[in-house]
């Protein structure tokens, strides 16, 4: 999904706003466009928001889902409190617990350790610092990086995979935005968003330095694809280079941990686009 998808394309295809559901329990970003993608019978109580742009954040839809805890960056806590109070008055639903996060401050929800990291992005509010997230379960370490122009050195360091990180950690899964298609002509989006070419380079460097060590055949999933840059899914699949893979509505991915001589299933993620 991306900000410029406001309905189906001419061929009927639809790419909803960027949102993922980890282990059918923990959401990352949520808007009305993804409401019909929540699995039937799921009782989602937790949402982590990356930032306050309307294609990622919608308090009213969050309340209607029945969410009880909301996590977001500490720099826009007061705004979020105001937004959710207003949404509560509109819907009659109670205001959830709103929990502010600092960079590198890990929390655990439903067996998943979540660590907020700084994104290279900006919202409409100058003081807001936007987030990407590291998800950890057992030996799986998944980076969810939407709305960020590449990966910052600080984010990589907090994830334990930076150039000067003392710990020998690595990522086993990556989901990263690729707002712009391969070979796009640079414009002002390059200061806030990533392209396929940038993601490809990032994955190559992390792989070469053994900071990204996936099991054989594991894809790097691309999210936040711009409607103005991409055609139908079949066409997107033809132009995306390996090991990258464009996500689509309803995609379900099982990430596996890296082990000596084998792999083990550790978690499931449902990708809303």
Q: What is the pLDDT of residue 3?
A: 60
The length of the chain, given as a count of residues: 273
pLDDT tens per residue, range 7-30: 788 888 889 999 999 999 999 999
Q: Which two tokens stand for residue 165?
A: 């990180």
Q: Are 148 and 194 in contact (CB under 8 A)?
A: yes
Q: What is the mean pLDDT of residues 138-151?
A: 97
Q: What is the pLDDT of residue 272?
A: 44
Q: Are strands 140-145 and 131-137 parallel, antiparallel or unpaired?
A: antiparallel
pLDDT at 267 over 70: no
pLDDT at 257 over 90: no
Kindly indicate the confidence band of residue 264, based on its pLDDT and cuts at 50, 70 and 90.
Answer: very low
Share above pLDDT 90 across residues of the chain, in percent, rounded to a whole number? 79
Q: What is the pLDDT of residue 128?
A: 96
Q: What is the pLDDT of residue 166?
A: 83
Q: What is the pLDDT of residue 4?
A: 75
Q: What is the pLDDT of residue 1?
A: 61
Kindly indicate the confidence band of residue 256, based on its pLDDT and cuts at 50, 70 and 90.
Answer: confident
| 112 closest CA partner among 136, 140, 143, 141 | 136
Q: Are 33 and 4 in contact (CB under 8 A)?
A: no
In this structure, the number of other CB atoms found within 10 A of the CB of residue 210 comes to 10
pLDDT tens per residue, range 109-132: 999 999 999 999 999 889 999 999
pLDDT at 90 over 90: yes
CA distance 37 to 249: 8
Omega before residue 105 within 30° of 0, cis: no
| 178 closest CA partner among 208, 214, 150, 156 | 150
DSSP 219: P
Q: What is the pLDDT of residue 227?
A: 87
Chain mean pLDDT for the chain = 91
Q: Which two tokens stand for residue 137?
A: 């379960």
Q: What is the pLDDT of residue 7?
A: 79
């Amino acid at each position: 999904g991306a900000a410029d998808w406001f309905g189906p394309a001419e061929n009927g295809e639809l790419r909803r706003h960027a949102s993922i559901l980890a282990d059918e329990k923990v959401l990352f970003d949520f808007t009305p466009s993804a409401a019909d993608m929540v699995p039937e019978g799921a009782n989602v109580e937790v949402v982590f928001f990356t930032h306050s742009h309307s294609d990622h954040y919608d308090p009213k839809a969050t309340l209607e889902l029945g969410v009880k805890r909301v996590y977001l960056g500490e720099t826009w806590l007061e705004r979020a409190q105001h937004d959710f109070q207003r949404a509560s008055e509109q819907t009659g639903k109670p205001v959830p617990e709103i929990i502010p996060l600092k960079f590198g401050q890990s929390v655990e929800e439903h067996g998943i350790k979540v660590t907020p990291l700084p994104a290279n992005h900006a919202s409409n509010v100058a003081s807001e610092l936007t987030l990407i997230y590291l998800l950890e379960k057992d030996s799986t370490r998944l980076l969810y990086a939407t709305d960020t122009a590449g990966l910052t050195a600080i984010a990589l360091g907090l994830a334990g995979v930076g150039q000067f990180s003392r710990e020998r950690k690595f990522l086993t899964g990556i989901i990263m935005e690729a707002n712009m298609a391969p070979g796009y002509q640079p414009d002002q989006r390059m200061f806030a968003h990533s392209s396929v070419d940038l993601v490809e380079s990032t994955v190559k460097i992390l792989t070469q330095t053994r900071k990204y060590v996936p099991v054989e055949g594991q894809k790097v999933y691309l999210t936040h694809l711009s409607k103005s840059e991409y055609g139908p899914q079949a066409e997107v699949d033809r132009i995306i280079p390996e090991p990258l893979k464009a996500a689509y509505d309803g995609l379900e991915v099982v990430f596996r941990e890296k082990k000596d001589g084998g792999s083990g299933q550790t978690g499931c993620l449902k990708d809303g686009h």
